[in-house]
Structure 1
Amino acid sequence: MKKTFFFFLIFYKSIVIGQTVLNSYPIDLKKYDESNMILNVENTTTHDVFVFATNATNVTILKYNNALFLVNEFTVPRTNLENHSIIGYSFSEDGNPTLYWATDDYKSILVVKYYLEGKTYKMLSYNSPISSQFIIATFQKNNLFYIITKDLATPELIVYVFKNGVVEEKLFDFSTYAFQDRKTQRISFNQVITDNPIEKIELDEYNPLFKSSKKSKLYMFDEHIILTLDHNPIKTQVFDINLENNAITEKTFTKSVINNPKKLGNSFLYNDKIYQVNASQDELVFDIKNYNSGETLKSFKVIKSDTIRFKSSPLLVQGENQRTRELKNTSKFLQRLSNLDIGISVFKNSQNTLVTLGGVPKIEKRYYTVNDQLYTWDFGSSAESVFFESTLNKDNEFVKFEQQPYAFDNINLFLEQNKKAILATTLKFKDFYILGYYDSTTKQYVMRKFTDGFPPEESLNPIINKAVFSKSFPADKP
């Protein structure tokens, strides 16, 4: 189901907007099935761009240099990879890629290194213990592949690091740390994570409110994983997990006081700052703090009879498959917000920092087991989301700013208008985004360049109609 929880209004001519085609490559996927998958990724050391495309019979690897010219290609039969799909990738020091293939239950993980110059590959099998654990996130960092899991029987997070065919397992024990619920009653780490499953936050992408409203969030930095917990509305509990020395460091950031038993709060970590919100039906407090020192850099408070003067958009409400509507005043906004999961999302462009603050329908999410396999159960209400946008300058002052679309707004528009573009993924590359997709009509893999701002002037028609966009990426990455 498509999530569309943040919107803004711009004027577009109702034609296809594609920005710039970078290149294309003929690939025939025969028919669309679960075996078909395409990824476009960057070797962050060499800045070469790779495309991994697979169907039921073959795996094709395309290598582009940092000027995005095709310099190598390799197609190999998909042998011994039945019932496996790509879960991640990494790059060796020689620049060659490794793909990680797994069954749905992760009982079998196959590590396949591809040698593009010699057109050969080497396959290793990893007997994975991961099938008895819940997978929190899989991701790439510094050309390595990571899997983070949680075993519900122990108060630990487990990090698997894949490098050059070797898997290193790191255990991080939270049993010595204290956790409290909203009534200050002591609870276990397992209970916190069971009631509030961890959401991985993307550092270089806009994170929609349905992600940033989660009470437990994970941020991946160089050799560090930051885990933030906001299950307690009084404080944000932060754990710095050091992957070099396997140490855990705890920090606590107290939220501004609101005298209401039904208060709700959350936070977002971005660029060495932690953004906190605490709200009730009567008031809202928004704080910006220095992550390293804890110093409060800015604090903004508004009560229900006030006007929110630090917003750069209207107060908006949106339901599933409904048009965005404007709320008349702060009181109505806070009333609706009090029944939702509150969240903040922060994203920076070349000039300013964009803050989205609001709430999304509550989602009941729990872990459970069936035949020793871990699953999650989701149940959401049909309530509407509310939100507004604010723009900050480098001094954390709110500024009036005529918001222009980001690259991923333009990507969303393109995909909405081009249903033949399937298997889409996005890649942040240099100062722009690459949208890679399979054109089901021309049977080609296409890469297009998208940048922030309005499309070229010839693509616009002054004030013809209002188009509403979601600031969310069109496809999830593994």
Structure 2
Amino acid sequence: MKKILLCLLLFYKSILFSQTILNSYPLDLKISGINNELLNVENVKTHEVFVFASDNENISILKYNASLFLTDQYKAPIKNLDDKHLIGYSFSEDGNPTLYWSRLDFSYIFAIKYYLESKTFKVLNFSFPSADQYVVDIFQKNNSFYILSKDVSKPTLNVYAFKNGTVEEKIFDFSPFTFQDKSTHLLTFTQLIKENPIEKIEAGDYNSLYKSAKKSKFYVLDDKFILTLDYNPKKTQVFEISMESEEIKEKNFTQSIIQNPKIVSNSFYHQNKLYQITADKSQMFLDIKDFNSNQTIKSFKVSKDENVNFKISPFFLERDGAKPKEFEKTNVFLQHLSKLDIGLSVFKNDQNTFIMLGGASEIEKPFSMFNNFYDPFTQDFPEANFYQGGYPAEIHSKSVYFETELNDNHEFVNPEPQPLAIDNISYFLDINKKVTLQSIMKFKDYYILGYYDKGTKQYIMRKFQDGFETDDAIDPLNTPSSFSKSFLKNRH
């Protein structure tokens, strides 16, 4: 699709990637320090849009109605938050927001409720039991703020729900369930999660291949959570977790059988379907199953000597974030795939379902001074982490993938290629270097990119949609390629 899209762009004298300025507001933020934060979010009950922008001294709150007209604003001082980050938000029944600030270790969480009518605020704090639990992830849903944590020793997941100035803890016990690897060896839930850390997937949004290749994934839906476990390549073990009843239901979805002990497999939940992929060096299966009935809706098989006639892109190989290399041979793709963490990522727009299939992995290696990246004069170690003892380490990444597209009848299609909204946003950010503190939100049937422009000292809100619009602002020869970049960017 990358190659096709580039050819398509050559027929356009100029392209504007569906960007429209919705609003702007003057803000004089001091862009330095830990408290530079920006969020644009929706109150899902009233459909009002709020903007929270902070620096080391103040937080500015902008309130827009559902038609995106500014209706209120409030600037409040920031006190005693020097070492804390803005980690989330919630909305009370009165419509006022609460912001949550925390240290990196989550030991203390400060909840600050802002009353826009009276221009006042109230501070509460919560002590997280960090000695017994660790934070898996944080998220918002239905105007509440949540923390998902794992007990250090017990076979439980804990969910903390923050709203209306209160916090409610719910504990989900996995001790009644059995966990077995491919050799039928028993595992404890704690051992399983330690070896396969949980990755939260953004349901209905873009997810990178690096995220979706994880073996333990957590999906947040309107009325429940879904935990999928692919530690055993023969099956996907799934748990439906009800926040209301606190009930846990187990389901098991078998993978397509390949008579080879060295198989790799994974799954992805999307809109009441489970997409499963399994492969070895000679073949690959893609199965689409109904989540409720476990019935197979579609099944596809590819052998190493066959062409993948349903892909809409070449095979791509990418190393360390460099420009992807294209190749066409299926056997080469399967050879690479068998050595990586296999995965697939699924996203649906208004028309079709996009799927990226492939593998990705990141390896931490000791840094070598005898490579082309080390500068002996500045002694710079680019993007270096450090092992124990202070020795630097490099993160090396590799991914191999291709793209396909399905219609509502689960038939492969190859429509005229157009960029998705997330591609348009990615390109806009690439060419606008004065943009900082960006925040992306889905609103109605489009996306809003909110950001701070350092040059004009304004908060700006832009609308992005799928597809092209003509304008004289952008040279088409410099435009980016397909949605694959979106799935791979922002890996963590």
> How many residues are paired up?
459
**Runs of 5+ in structure 1 lacking a partner?**
1-5, 366-378
Are residue 454 (structure 1) and residue 468 (structure 2) matched?
yes
Question: Displacement of 1:107 after TM fit?
Answer: 1.7
CA deviations 1:404-445 (Å, max 9, x no partner) are 111110000000001110111100000110001111111111
Residue of structure 2 in register with 1:368 after alignment: none
Q: Counterparts of 1:16-415 in structure 2 under 5 Å?
A: 19-130=19-130, 132-362=132-362, 382=396, 384-415=398-429
State the 1:387 CA deviation: 0.6
Task: Identify if the C-alpha distance between structure 1 residues 278 and 472 changes in structure 2 by more than 3 Å, giving closer, same or farther.
Answer: closer
Specify the code of the residue in structure 1 equivalent to 2:289.
Answer: K
Contact 1:275 / 1:286 at 8 angstroms: preserved in 2? yes
Cα shift readout 1:134-176 (whole Å, capped 9, x = no counterpart): 2111111110111000122111100001121111111111112
Cα distance per residue 1:169-211 (max 9 Å; x no partner): 1111111211112322111111111111001000131111011
How far residue 458 of structure 1 moved from its aligned partner, in angstroms, is 4.2
Q: Distance in 1 between matches of 2:405 and 2:32?
A: 42
Paired with 1:304 and 1:33, the residues of 2 have a C-alpha distance of 53
Q: Which residue of 1 is the match for residue 486 of structure 2?
A: 471
Contact residue 362 and residue 380 of structure 1 kept, 8 A: no
Give the 3-state SS of the residue equivalent to 2:396 in structure 1: coil
Contact 1:41–1:49 (CA under 8 A) maintained in structure 2: yes
- Tell whether 2:23 aligns with 1:10: no
Q: CA, structure 1 residues 265+19, in 2 after alignment: closer, same or farther (shift >3 Å)?
A: same
Distance change >3 Å, CA 383–CA 43, structure 1 → 2: closer
1:473–1:32 CA distance, 2 compared to 1 (3 A): farther
1:131 Cα deviation from its structure 2 partner:
5.9
Separation in 1, partners of 2:170, 2:253 = 27
Q: What amino acid does structure 1 have at the position aligned with 2:480? A: A
The Cα shift of 1:30 comes to 2.0
1:109-129 superposed Cα distances (whole Å, 9 cap, x missing partner):
111111101111111122221
Superposition TM-score, scaled by structure 2 size: 0.88
- 3-state SS in 2 of match to 1:191: helix
- Rounded to whole Å, the distance in 1 between the matches of 2:490 and 2:76 is 26
What's the CA shift string for 1:422-472, capped at 9, x where partnerless?
Answer: 11110000011000111111111111110011232545667x466346214
Question: What does residue 370 of structure 1 align with?
Answer: none
In the aligned structure 2, how far is the partner of 1:380 from the partner of 1:221? 36
8 A Cα contact 2:14 2:471, kept in partner? no
Q: 2:416 aligned with 1:421, yes or no?
A: no
CA distance in 1 between partners of 2:70 and 2:46 (Å):
15
Q: Following TM superposition, by how much is the alpha carbon of 1:87 offset from its aligned partner in structure 2, in angstroms?
A: 1.2
Offset of residue 307 of structure 1: 0.9
Offset of residue 383 of structure 1: 5.4
Deviates more, 1:394-403 or 1:231-240: 394-403
What is aligned with 1:369?
A: none
Q: CA deviation at 1:15?
A: 8.5
Contact 2:213 2:359 in 1 (8 A): yes
What percentage of residue pairs aligned between the two structures are identical?
51
Residues 56 and 199 of structure 1: CA distance in aligned 2, closer, same or farther (over 3 Å): same
Could you say if the C-alpha distance between residues 188 and 257 of structure 1 is closer, same or farther in structure 2, counting changes exceeding 3 Å? same
SS at match of 2:5: strand
Unaligned 5+ residue runs, structure 2?
366-392
- 1:320 & 1:15 partners in 2: Cα distance? 29
CA-atom RMSD, angstroms? 2.4
Return the TM-score normalized by structure 1.
0.91
Residues 44, 143 of structure 2: 8 Å contact kept:
yes
1:201, 1:8 → 2: CA distance?
29
Contact 2:268 2:344 in 1 (8 A): yes
Using the alignment, how far apart are the partners of 1:364 and 1:323 within structure 2?
A: 21
Q: Identify the residue that residue 375 of structure 1 maps to in structure 2.
A: none
- TM-aligned CA deviation for residue 31 of structure 1: 3.3
Report the alpha carbon displacement of residue 9 of structure 1 after superposing the two structures with TM. Answer: 5.7
Change (3 A) 1:315 1:398: same
Against the structure 1 CA distance between its residues 476 and 55, is the aligned structure 2 distance closer, same or farther, given a 3 Å change threshold? farther
Q: Quick check: 2:14–2:472 contact (8 Å CA) kept in 1? A: no
